[in-house]
């Protein structure tokens, strides 16, 4: 006999943004392996007696290795357990979901994927802006601001990312944004393109900073906070 794993997107942090299906799986789980950003009140939905295991990874901090997290899922499932793998935002967006599902497939363990509210959507909602606009912002693009080394990826499509007619969302990009912004401007993005830095979205620590691409690069070059953050740029980021 083997167990079953539910990959649950917890949204950006506000427990009221959990889906009904997410809450149901938390209430029935024998073990919950959770990201740092999925902790706090969200875990209050877990049933009494469930194992709660923190496996979150944060930039610049000691974190569990990915192979260790994947092996934990397999180990719990092989004990005929019902497991929730609680991922912040939507697990399929820069959440290393596939590495964990591949481990389960290799071990013959069944699983399901329950989507969560993407942090990009929550950030736009918090700022009171849409991600698209008819005629002038027909495209939304998500990009990661760092690779496996924590550096700016070397294979970015700068022509697409410098398109001022798109809404671009940068995940995990605070530390690399000054260099990224320079590359954007060299590729033709106007320095004064509206930008939004959204920190701690949907939590008590939420802060929204509206500025421009060049000024945001200057700000982040002076230092970054430890809060989880997204950067949005494009015409709609002005609000």
More confident position, 58 or 75: 75
- What distance in Å separates the CA atoms of residue 224 and residue 219, rounded to the nearest whole number? 8
pLDDT the model gives residue 36: 87
Residues 6+ apart with CB under 8 A from 139: 132, 163, 165, 166, 167
Sign of the alpha-carbon dihedral angle for 36, 224, 156, 193 = positive
**Active-site residue (options: 21, 24, 36, 57):** 57
Going by pLDDT thresholds of 50, 70 and 90, the confidence category of residue 63 is low
From start to end of the chain, where are the E strands? 4-9, 31-34, 51-54, 82-87, 111-114, 139-144, 166-171, 194-199, 207-212, 229-233
All domains of the chain, ordered by start, with CATH?
Answer: 4-114 (3.40.1010.10), 119-238 (3.30.950.10)
Which DSSP state fits 205?
Answer: T
Question: Would you state the structure tokens that stand for residue 206, as one six-digit string?
Answer: 């939420």
- What distance in Å separates the CA atoms of residue 239 and residue 227, rounded to the nearest whole number? 22
Q: Residue 107: enclosing H or E segment and its boundaries?
A: helix 97-107
Question: Would you state the structure tokens that stand for residue 229, as one six-digit string?
Answer: 């953050």
Half-sphere exposure of 134 (CA within 13 A, CB side): 0
CA-to-CA dists, residue 64 to 27, 56, 123, angstroms: 25, 7, 27
pLDDT the model gives residue 62: 56
Query: Global pTM?
Result: 0.91
pLDDT the model gives residue 1: 61
The reply to whether 57 belongs to the active site is yes
pLDDT, tens digit, 9 for 90 and up, residues 161-179 = 999 899 999 999 999 999 9
| Among 183, 173, 180, 210, residue whose Cα is nearest residue 195 | 210
Going by pLDDT thresholds of 50, 70 and 90, the confidence category of residue 2 is confident
Q: What's the start-to-end Cα distance of the chain, in Å?
A: 54
The reply to whether 65 belongs to the active site is no
**Active-site residue (options: 14, 30, 35, 90):** 35
- Burial (CB < 10 A; 0-12, 13-18, 19+), residue 64, is middle
Going by pLDDT thresholds of 50, 70 and 90, the confidence category of residue 147 is confident
pLDDT, tens digit, 9 for 90 and up, residues 134-146 = 888 889 999 999 8
Q: What is the mean pLDDT of the chain?
A: 93
pLDDT, tens digit, 9 for 90 and up, residues 208-220 = 999 999 999 999 9
pLDDT the model gives residue 58: 58
pLDDT, tens digit, 9 for 90 and up, residues 67-115 = 999 999 999 999 999 999 999 999 999 999 999 999 999 999 999 999 9
């Amino acid at each position: 006999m083997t167990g079953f794993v539910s990959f649950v997107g917890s949204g950006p942090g506000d427990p009221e943004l959990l889906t009904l299906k997410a809450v149901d799986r938390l209430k029935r789980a024998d073990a919950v392996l959770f990201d740092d950003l999925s902790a706090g009140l969200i875990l209050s939905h877990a049933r009494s007696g469930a194992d709660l295991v923190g496996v979150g990874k944060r930039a610049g901090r000691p974190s569990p290795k990915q192979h260790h997290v994947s092996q934990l899922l397999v180990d719990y499932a092989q004990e005929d357990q019902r497991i929730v793998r609680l991922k912040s935002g939507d697990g399929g967006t820069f959440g290393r979901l596939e590495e964990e599902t591949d481990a389960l497939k290799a071990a013959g363990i069944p699983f399901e994927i329950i989507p969560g509210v993407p942090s990009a959507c929550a950030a736009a909602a918090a700022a009171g802006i849409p991600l698209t606009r008819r005629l002038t912002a027909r495209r939304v693009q998500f990009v990661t601001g760092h690779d496996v080394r924590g550096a700016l990826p070397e294979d970015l499509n700068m022509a697409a990312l410098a398109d001022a007619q798109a809404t671009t969302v940068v995940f995990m990009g605070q530390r690399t944004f000054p260099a990224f912004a320079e590359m954007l401007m060299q590729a033709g993005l106007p320095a004064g393109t509206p930008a939004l830095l959204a920190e701690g979205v949907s939590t008590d620590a939420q802060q929204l900073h509206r500025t421009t691409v060049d000024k945001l690069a200057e700000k982040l070059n002076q230092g970054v906070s430890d809060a989880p953050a997204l950067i949005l740029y494009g015409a709609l980021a002005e609000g």
